[in-house]
Amino acid sequence: MCGIFGIWHPQAQTFLFDGLYAMQHRGKESAGAAIITKDGVENYTSMGFVNDLFKKYPNLRETQTHAAIGHIRYSTSGKSCIENAQPLLRQTKYGDIAIVHNGTIPKAKELKTDFLNKGGFLAGDLDTEIFLRVVVESNKKTLNDALIEAVEKIDCAYSFLILSENALYAIRDRYGFWGLSIGKKESGYVFASEAVALDKINASYVSEVEPGAIFKIFNHNGNIETRLIRTKSSVKKSSRCVFDMIYLSNPASTNTETGCSVYTLRKKLGIKLAEEFMSKNIKIDIVVPVPDSGNISALGFHKISNIPLEFALIRGHYTNRTFIDPSQEERSVGVRRKFDPVYDIINGKKIGLVDDSLVRGTTSKKLARMLKKCGASEIHLLIASPPIKFPCHYGIDMKTKEELIASKNSIDEIIKIIGADSLTFLSMDSFNDVFNKNNFCNGCFSEKYPTQL
Ligand code: SF4
């Protein structure tokens, strides 16, 4: 999870806030930014939201800079504390280096043990720190070559933006788990985890950084220059995370790997779900989406089934996504705080409740209870993806099988736990039809991980 943003532009400071703010939905634990100034690379971090960062450091909007990187954190590796807020800024033999990371490096533990056994020490417990350590331990003369070596040595899972004193590097692992869009803004360049952040600052989308490649921006003789460095691990095919598309990404985001917007993908999932559900001969009166991630699939479902679509759950606009709450306890409280039921729409109805996915079951259980209290006569849970039965090793907070409701329970058991009357998951075949299975990771659904673990 997490969101990363970078810009190389004569007025970079003008666009930093909006670029980061456009990806606030990807995390809310901490935010940070590093900028190049006449004194070198400066780093600013804060717990909380992008707003909190800019309130804490009002000079971030005004300090003239031609290069900046920023981060929004959802922790999947390392504690949620200010020491682990990114960017990380380190003084190295290659000069000051600031780094932001989206992803989780499964190999980090092994590399860390190796490093500590050799008598080294680490400033924090982030896997990002381990990558940086591999870079600075290199015998290569230049940062360019040290980065190439690190990318060839560490296979996944990362999209990085790295700011040195005179260049910005955008790096994507060889599998391309996490998006890293390239945008063009006047004479400058922009990078973001999601293309929606490019659009927010009126930059035009160019493409994704190629998996396994390094895209470098620097100034030369007063002009902005770029280099595309293909490492030995560069591949043509990506294994982009499908969960990012079905839950996390802004529906307005589009990129060359999906070939369409996230909105279109989610609508297709809803259409397929309706086709499969209709063969079950279960009668429902209204289709109700779980806002916001179930909205578009519910629309697709309604379009094919002709069952009326009702927004019977109103989402509070001043709360946040429950999945990105760091603890289970916070997630449970968050669900009740987040939704307001519309009683007269719900009362006496057989409800088809559409959600994007079923992870821990926390939201569905609370919602089923809430809808029944409001007089719903039946609740049929409709999930626009297959059961998530396996953990994610690459950066989504689903670390163990134990926390996944579909991993340890049968469909009947899940129905009982949630308090629903039926449960329909989208089949794996239909899911793969919507996502070209050759270009996406679906390991948490299929146990077919793109890498050796
Ligand atoms: S295992 Fe699942 S959550 Fe993890 S990268 Fe693959 S699709 Fe995404």
Give the mean pLDDT of the chain. 92
| Atom of ligand 1 minimally distant from the CA of 442 | 7
Q: Are residues 234 and 268 in the same domain?
A: no
Which residue has 């280099």 as its token pair?
Answer: 227
- Mean pLDDT, rounded, for 355-384: 96
pLDDT for residue 419:
97
Q: Is the pLDDT of residue 426 over 80?
A: yes
Contact 19, 197 (CB under 8 A): yes
Percentage, residues of the chain above pLDDT 90: 79
Q: Is residue 253 part of a domain?
A: no
- Mean pLDDT, rounded, for 286-296: 96
Q: Which range (124-128, 259-263, 291-295) has the least confidence?
A: 124-128
Contact 368, 325 (CB under 8 A): no
- Mean pLDDT, rounded, for 304-312: 97
Ligand 1 pocket check: which of 1, 26, 175, 242 to mutate, most ligand atoms within 8 Å of Cβ?
A: 242
Q: Which range (40-54, 77-91, 289-303) has the least confidence?
A: 77-91
pLDDT for residue 105:
93
379 C-alpha to center of ligand 1: Å? 29
Q: Are residues 7 and 139 in the same domain?
A: yes
Kindly list the protein residues whose Cβ atom lies closer than 6 A to any atom of ligand 1.
Answer: 177, 241-243, 392, 394, 396, 441-444
152 C-alpha to center of ligand 1: Å? 22
Please tell me the residue having the least CA distance from ligand 1 atom 5. Answer: 241
Give the phi and the psi of residue 34 in degrees, each rounded to 5.
Answer: -125, 140
The catalytically annotated residue of 2, 156, 241, 374 is 2
Ligand 1 pocket check: which of 155, 246, 394 to mutate, most ligand atoms within 8 Å of Cβ?
A: 394
- Alpha carbon distance 128, 108 (integer Å): 9
Contact 71, 6 (CB under 8 A): no
Please tell me the residue having the least CA distance from ligand 1 atom 4. Answer: 392
Of the chain, the end-to-end C-alpha distance in Å amounts to: 20
217 C-alpha to center of ligand 1: Å? 30
- Mean pLDDT, rounded, for 41-56: 96
Q: Is residue 453 part of a domain?
A: no
| pLDDT band (50, 70, 90) for residue 319 | low
Q: Is residue 256 part of a domain?
A: no
Most confident of 71-80, 112-121, 193-202: 193-202
394 C-alpha to center of ligand 1: Å? 7
Q: Are residues 96 and 198 in the same domain?
A: yes
Q: Which range (24-28, 134-138, 329-333, 397-401) has the least confidence?
A: 329-333
For the question of residue 260 being annotated catalytic, the response is: no
Give the phi and the psi of residue 117 in degrees, each rounded to 5.
Answer: -65, -25
- Mean pLDDT, rounded, for 266-281: 96
| Atom of ligand 1 minimally distant from the CA of 177 | 5
Contact 347, 376 (CB under 8 A): yes
pLDDT for residue 255:
86
Here the CATH number for the domain that contains residue 436 is 3.40.50.2020
Q: Is residue 291 part of a domain?
A: yes
pLDDT for residue 79:
80
Q: Are residues 39 and 155 in the same domain?
A: yes
Q: Are residues 149 and 269 in the same domain?
A: no
Q: Which range (33-37, 173-177, 234-238) has the least confidence?
A: 234-238
Q: Is the pLDDT of residue 75 over 80?
A: no
Q: Is residue 248 part of a domain?
A: no
pLDDT for residue 326:
57
pLDDT for residue 428:
96
Q: Which amino acid is at 126?
A: L
Q: Tens digit of pLDDT for each residue in 154-171?
A: 999 999 999 999 999 999
| Atom of ligand 1 minimally distant from the CA of 450 | 6
Q: Is residue 247 part of a domain?
A: no
Q: Which range (262-266, 272-276, 337-341) has the least confidence?
A: 337-341
Q: Report which DSSP code applies to 246.
A: I
| Atom of ligand 1 minimally distant from the CA of 440 | 7
In the chain, the number of structural domains is 2
407 C-alpha to center of ligand 1: Å? 15
| pLDDT band (50, 70, 90) for residue 142 | very high
Q: Are residues 114 and 193 in the same domain?
A: yes
Q: Are residues 120 and 192 in the same domain?
A: yes
**How many of the other CB atoms lie within 10 Å of CB of 404?**
22
Q: Is the pLDDT of residue 332 over 60?
A: no
Q: Are residues 271 and 214 in the same domain?
A: no
Q: How far is CA 320 from the centre of its chain?
A: 15
Range of the domain at 8: 3-238
Q: Are residues 288 and 213 in the same domain?
A: no
392 C-alpha to center of ligand 1: Å? 5
Instruction: Give the pTM.
Output: 0.92
